[in-house]
Amino acid sequence: MAKIELRLSSIDPPTPDPPRTIYRDIYNLPSTTYLGLTGRYFNFDDVTLYFQITGTGPGYTFSTVNLGSLASGTSAYINLDNFASRSRPASELTQTVDLILRAYTDSGYSNLKWTFTRTVTVIWINSADPSYTQDVLNNFDDGTVQGWAVLCETQCDTGLPDLGVTTDYALSPPNSLRMRNRTISGKDFHRGRLYKSFTTPDRNKVYAIFDVRTGGQVLTAVNQRVLIVRRDSTVLIYLGTTCAYVAVDAIPEAKWFRIVVPLPRNTSLEIQIAHCVASYVGGGYSYLYMDDFKIISKN
């Protein structure tokens, strides 16, 4: 077994990490696009090591991020926002990028001991291409929640989370959907769920695409910890670290980011979006906004 490792799943070694694919949608992106991801890195060596991560891939410019020390036999989560950039592709594209984890014996990152590379497939689609059928569009501009609902997964205040349509932020004005939540008395984090059931079309390729934005009534009093996208009980996307009280943001805050997930054909399923926030009691409401949810498909 390698002395260091980088994983993009919740599966622990020594079980092999499954191949990972990141799906992205070209439509309506700016000319320069950014890649972010959540990962977990491991130190199986007998000594404390200092970790660094970078990457390489066609058309990409990667940052080099020093992660600090990690004790022998331990692991840590990382959230790399705007980790890499590249020009928006002109058309649909499949490519691979290499994520390169390095471990050093010194805090100055001069004595390299181990290197580990994780290869990831990136699939770019274009949801505006006429070859796709738009099977579902929820943009909330009719003033309703369009069938979405919410529930509390853990430690939410009485009557929360709640759900409504708002003009606070919208990618396609005037409206977006907003889940509002707050921590129950005596606790210091909460997790709510936004969900809706669908039956997918009977075509070869089916994708759900939507944009989300996190925030809070008082941004300094709420810390964004985790965003999970599930198909029923299957985790499709896990962004962030642990759903617990830590006064550090672990997922992007106060900006829109896009989620693209593949779905099985001709299947009844529930899309779930879980949002975990660390918030001291009385620290204010947390918000999860969503706009332009769509399901597209083609043969």
pLDDT one-digit tens code per residue, 119-173: 999 999 999 999 999 999 999 999 999 999 999 999 999 999 999 999 999 999 9
Distance CA 195, CA 148 (A): 6
Give the pLDDT confidence score for residue 125 in this predicted structure.
Answer: 97
User: Mean pLDDT of all residues in the chain?
Assistant: 94
Indicate whether 197 pLDDT > 90. yes
Percent of the chain at pLDDT exceeding 90: 80
What is the pLDDT averaged over residues 101-106?
98
Rounded to 10 degrees, what is the CA torsion of 104, 106, 110, 115?
Answer: 0
Query: Which residue ranges does the chain devote to CATH 2.60.40.10?
Result: 4-125
List all residues 6 or more positions away from 192 whose beta carbon is below 8 Å from its beta carbon: 150, 151, 152, 153, 156, 160, 161, 179, 181, 274, 275, 288
Q: What is the rounded average pLDDT of the residues 202-225? A: 91
Place of tokens 């919208």: 170
81 has pLDDT over 70: yes
Fold exhibited by the domain 4-125: Immunoglobulin-like (2.60.40)
Per-residue confidence at 57, pLDDT binned at 50, 70, 90?
very high
Q: What is the pLDDT of residue 37?
A: 87
d(CA 63, CA 177): 33
- What's the average model confidence in pLDDT over 240-257? 89
Contact 40, 81 (CB under 8 A): no
- 239: which residues sit within 8 A by CB, 6+ positions away? 38, 79, 226, 227, 228, 250, 251
Dist CA 155 CA 161 (whole Å)? 10
Residue 97, pLDDT above cutoff 90: yes
Residue 230: closest CA among 277, 193, 282: 193
Residue for token pair 């009093």: 221
**Topology adopted by domain 133-298:** Jelly Rolls (2.60.120)
Intervals of CATH 2.60.120.260 along the chain:
133-298
pLDDT in tens, 3-21: 999 998 878 889 998 899 9
Per-residue confidence band for 248, with pLDDT thresholds at 50, 70 and 90: confident
CA–chain centroid gap for 149, Å, is 20
What is the model's pLDDT at position 242? Answer: 87
Q: Which residues make beta-bridge pairs with 125?
A: 25
Whose tokens are 């896009």? That residue is 258
* Res 282 pLDDT > 70: no
Residue 283 has pLDDT above 70, yes or no: no
